[in-house]
Amino acid sequence: MGGVESHMNAHLQLAMHAPQSDDTQLRALVRHQLLSGALGESVEDHAFGGISRGAHCAVCNLAIEAGKSEIQTFGRDGSHRRFHPKCHLLLSCELEDLAQR
C-alpha cells in the first residue's frame, strides 16, 4: 500500500469511529470510489441488513467487525458487496447527489 493510501487508511479508521458530523473524509472516499468506477455499476437491486462475519467493506476496505451490523447489497450487474452501515449511508447520499447533477 502506498504512502497516500496508508495515510488515507489511517484517517478512515478514525472517521469510522468519529461522530456523525465528521464524515467529510469518508464521504470524499465514497465519491472517489464512485467516480473511479471502483464500485462498479453501484445500482442495487436488493439491500439487506445482517450480522458481519468479518468481511471487508466495499467502500473503505476496512474489516467489518464480526458480530456487528453490516449492509449486504446485490447489484443489477450480479455483484455482491458488504458495507459498514455508515459507509452504505454515505454511498446512498453520494449517489443521490450525483443523480441531481
Q: What is the pLDDT along the chain (101 residues), one digit of tens a residue?
A: 444 444 445 445 545 554 444 688 888 888 888 888 888 766 677 889 999 999 999 999 999 999 999 999 988 778 889 999 999 999 988 888 888 87
Quick one: which H or E segment has residue 91?
Answer: helix 85-100
- pTM for the structure as a whole: 0.74
**Chain centre distance of CA 68:** 15
Its domain, for residue 26, covers 3-100
Tally of domains within the chain: 1
